[in-house]
Amino acid sequence: MSKELIRLKDVSMTFDGDTVLDNMNIYFNDKEFLTLLGPSGCGKTTTLRIIGGFLVPTSGDVFFDGVRINDVPPYLRQVNTVFQKYALFPHLNVYDNVAFGLRIPKSVDEGGTDINSESSGRGKRKKSKKVKLSKDEIDQRVQEMLEVVSLKGFEKRTVSSLSGGQQQRVAIARALVNRPKVLLLDEPLGALDMRLRKDMQQELKRIQQQMGITFIYVTHDQEEALAMSDTVVVMNNGKIQQIGTPEDIYNEPKNAFVADFIGESNIVDGIMRADRLVEIFGRQFQCVDSGFEKDEPVDVVIRPEDVDIVDVTQGALTGLVTSVTFKGMHYDIIVDFKGFKWLIETTDFCPVGSHIGIKLDPDSFHVMKKSEYSGMYGDYSSYSAEYDEISDAEYQEEESVDEEEYYES
């Protein structure tokens, strides 16, 4: 395991009495691609801004390489940020934007590393040498970085003449050219269209591996998080819900919130009758989970793709198809089981109004302990095809609202 680089210890953040982060404890490893994932207002951007130095936590400590950096201002930290709407300098061309950070003389202490400790923060900073890079070195590094983000030949272009994806690359180059130990990315692909987004995901992953540094990535898009990350941190209401690899998070969600937020999930009430034996809808099924008390009430997750549709006579459960949506690769069908609506992904066409049976393998069940989120998610009664897009749009709106709050406070 690689070494720990950043640690947040008991970090809380309150704006005007609103708790945005609630006693957060987390560490970030060197050279890791970590994603903070959650709905808007969950505190993920706040976490990023605390690491960047733009916000000072109300309580708790931030450590960088073992040194407390709560009061170190952003311009003395060894992290760089790619901002949500790029925040490129409109009065500078591509080259000057990328060279911006390199042209600022940096303080260097005896050991030759950038100033980073508490004692050398604001105010009582020691008289340290300011080192200015030579023109040739700046040029070499800028060119190198433009190469990395595939923007060679764009040096003299104005920022406003670039497309969204190109602007995004400039923003990444501008941050990376300073050779930070950590790159913070705040929803960097939020403004791009679907195709470009997919390309940039690959690109970002490639750049991260090529540079060999830590990426801390903030997004509300779970697909993006699963596709790119080494580690995913799912957040809600200022609390960490689960930390794990993308596979862990998807296959073994800790509670109903995570199960619902990552992918599609049918979440039903169940009772653990014994190890590897779960009861739902009054029927007992073999499963692979154990370690629960006998007769403990639990939440059971069944992913829509794990359900096999069989003839109504052979089904362990039978239900009525109430809606069918064609999704290209498969159909999304909504099936009513005794008043609880399930989402099932299937390649077989089942017309609305038909009765079907379903079969469930033992490994299609995932059993979770009851939590504060039990009963809030996983029922598809209000499902419609546009639902996802609508909720996406809401995220965007709210995100910009709480951004305003940061500045006002």
Partner 1 sequence: MKERPSVGGRVLTILTFVFLYAPIIVLIVFSFNSSNSRTVWSGFTLDWYGELFEDSLIMSSLSTTFSVSIISALVATVAGTAAAIGFFNMKKRTRAPLLAINNIPMINADIITGVSMCLLFVAAFGFLGNFTGWLNRVFGFNLPTRFTQGFGTLLIAHITFNIPYVILSVMPKLQQMDRNLVDAAMDLGCSPLSAIWKVVIPDIMPGIINGAIIAFTMSIDDFVISFFTAGSNSQTLAMAIYTMTKKRVTPKINAISTLLFLTVLILLIVVNIRSSRQEKKLQESMKIKKSFVR
Q: Return residues touching partner 1 (CB under 8 A).
A: 52-54, 73-75, 79-81, 83-85, 87-91, 100-101, 104, 106, 160-161, 163-165, 174-175, 178, 191-194, 407-408
Nearer to partner 1, 145 or 317 (CB): 145
Minimum Å gap between C-beta 83 and partner 1 is 4
Nearer to partner 1, 196 or 310 (CB): 196
Nearer to partner 1, 125 or 338 (CB): 125
Nearer to partner 1, 193 or 348 (CB): 193
Q: How far apart are CA 352 and CA 350, in angstroms?
A: 7
The angle formed by the CA atoms of residues 145, 149 and 153, to the nearest 5 degrees, is: 80
Minimum Å gap between C-beta 102 and partner 1 is 9
Residues linked to residue 61 through DSSP beta bridges, in sequence order: 9
Nearer to partner 1, 83 or 395 (CB): 83
CB 216 within 8 A of CB 184: yes
Minimum Å gap between C-beta 277 and partner 1 is 48
* Residue with the two structure tokens 């080259």: 95
Residue 223: strand, helix, or coil? helix
CB 7 within 8 A of CB 27: yes
* Closest residue by Cα to residue 152 from 140, 141, 144, 164: 144
* Residue with the two structure tokens 């272009």: 157
Q: How does strand 79-82 pair with strand 182-186? A: parallel
Nearer to partner 1, 128 or 318 (CB): 128
Nearer to partner 1, 86 or 373 (CB): 86
Minimum Å gap between C-beta 113 and partner 1 is 15
**Contacting residues for 324 by C-beta, under 8 A, at least 6 apart:** 331, 332, 333, 334, 349, 350, 351, 352
H helices present in 274-386, as ranges: none
* Residue with the two structure tokens 């099924």: 285
Minimum Å gap between C-beta 101 and partner 1 is 4
Nearer to partner 1, 87 or 312 (CB): 87
Nearer to partner 1, 55 or 204 (CB): 55
Token representation of residue 5: 């680089």
Q: What is the DSSP code string of 151-210?
A: -TT-TTSBGGGS-HHHHHHHHHHHHHTT--SEEEEESTTTTS-HHHHHHHHHHHHHHHHH
Minimum Å gap between C-beta 100 and partner 1 is 5
* Residue with the two structure tokens 């105010």: 123
Token representation of residue 273: 């009758």
Q: How far apart are CA 301 and CA 146, in angstroms?
A: 46
Minimum Å gap between C-beta 214 and partner 1 is 16
Minimum Å gap between C-beta 235 and partner 1 is 22
Minimum Å gap between C-beta 175 and partner 1 is 7
